[in-house]
Amino acid sequence: MAVDDADVKPPVSLLPPTESSALDDESPAPKRRPPELSSNLPDLVTNLPDVNGSISSTSAPLPDMPKYILNNYTRLYQMDQRPDCSEDLCVLVHTNKLCVIVLAPSHPVVALKKECLSVSFTDCDGSDRTQSHGQGARKKGAQFIEHGSVICRVECADRSSYVVSSGIRGKLLEVNTNLSARPSLLSSKPFSTGYLAIIMPNAMEMDIIRASLHDEDMFRQLRKI
């Protein structure tokens, strides 16, 4: 059965604060616990306004973000270090330290509006990322992934393919399994329903992670956007 865009929805971690407050820890402790994330993706979602994430990496400005993302997320970028390559990632760091991994506007899939045929979350070593589900305060059952761990593989209609890594290390709370059925979301709505994964880094490593990534000003300068 065909699925409308309205039926494919982003993770609860992308909700505006007014809609996700029920998930926040009400403890008076100074550090707030991340919201619980169920392993059942439909239970995590709610409607988000559409975000046009498809731009030219050389001329168009970065897409405008919804106000609640600007207010509650820091946008950091993992830059592709290979010559003449721009398979960059954007790490949306929430105020609760959860990180949503998306393709950066400079990534060829997004910048060239490529037609994606498939998104596979099975790594070459047999690891199935769809089986990673964090449960409880300690996120038991979540796979621990390193900086270069593969999240997914993308096949496009022009016969190009891309291996997408995590960009950061931490516990993989979930991947966006909607992309398996709707791979086009990866290029058409990368900052909302086309997100890749949600990762919970070690809180003690957040300063190291931030230092290893580029902020948006540096990203624009390096990519000449």
Q: For 92-137, how does the pLDDT look when each residue is reduced to its tens digit (9 = 90+)?
A: 999 888 999 999 999 999 999 999 999 999 876 667 787 777 666 6
**H helix and E strand count, the chain:** 7, 9
Contact 107, 194 (CB under 8 A): no
**Which residues share a beta bridge with 88?**
none
pLDDT, residue 24, reads: 39
Q: Give me the residue spans of the domains in the chain.
A: 50-223
pLDDT, residue 69, reads: 73
pLDDT, residue 163, reads: 94
Nearest residue to 101 via CA among 38, 10, 31 = 10
pLDDT, residue 91, reads: 95
**Which residues share a beta bridge with 161?**
155
Length of the chain: 225
- Residue 85's SS3 state is coil
Instruction: Give every CB contact of residue 159 below 8 A, 6+ residues apart in sequence.
Output: none
What share of the chain in percent tops pLDDT 70? Answer: 64
Contact 190, 102 (CB under 8 A): yes
pLDDT, residue 153, reads: 93
Q: How many CB atoms lie within 10 A of CB 136?
A: 9
d(CA 94, CA 98): 5
Q: How many CB atoms lie within 10 A of CB 60?
A: 12
Distances (CA, A) of 113 to 19, 62, 79, 107: 31, 14, 19, 10
Note the CATH number of domain 50-223: 2.40.50.100
User: Which stretches in the chain have pLDDT values below 70?
Assistant: 1-66, 124-126, 134-141
Q: Are strands 73-78 and 99-103 parallel, antiparallel or unpaired?
A: unpaired
Instruction: Give every CB contact of residue 163 below 8 A, 6+ residues apart in sequence.
Output: 150, 153
